[in-house]
Amino acid sequence: MYTYDGDIWVGLMTVKEAIEHAAGLDVEGIEFFDKMHLPNYPHPTAYDLLDLKEYVEFFGMAVSCYSFYIDTLIHSEKKATFEEEGKQVKDALGAAKVLGAKIVRVAEQAGSLANDSIHHPSRKIWLKNGRRNTFANPS
């Protein structure tokens, strides 16, 4: 979907139109990016996510990856806390699960949670210092 970001951003194409175009190219999967592709971001509903998933599946494709940024500046007056950044990761993993994505790509920002090594107690999530576009499995 990154190929379509510019057109989506300026309103030349909707996310659903981009999905339709991708289907015409016989791609097998779609990668969604939180800030660009999710309706009602930053608070998409389960309905919003299921609607996107079902739309992709209608064309015989799957949601192959879900990407998101850890937003370190969620407050204008201060940097996000470690706990607030952790909640963003948890919320993104929940969205990925609803979408059916097996891969989550964390896009780092300077000073974010992703700059520290974190190991989730379930041992299914691993974010490692110094790695750009780290992967985690939400299932």
pTM of the full predicted structure?
0.72
58-72 per-position pLDDT tens digit = 999 999 999 988 877
Domain residue ranges of the chain, discontinuous segments joined by +: 2-136
Distance CA 111, CA 115 (A): 6
According to DSSP, the β-strands at 62-69 and 104-107 are parallel
Helix (H, G, I), strand (E, B) or coil at 68: strand
Span 7-30, pLDDT tens digits: 888 889 999 999 999 999 999 999
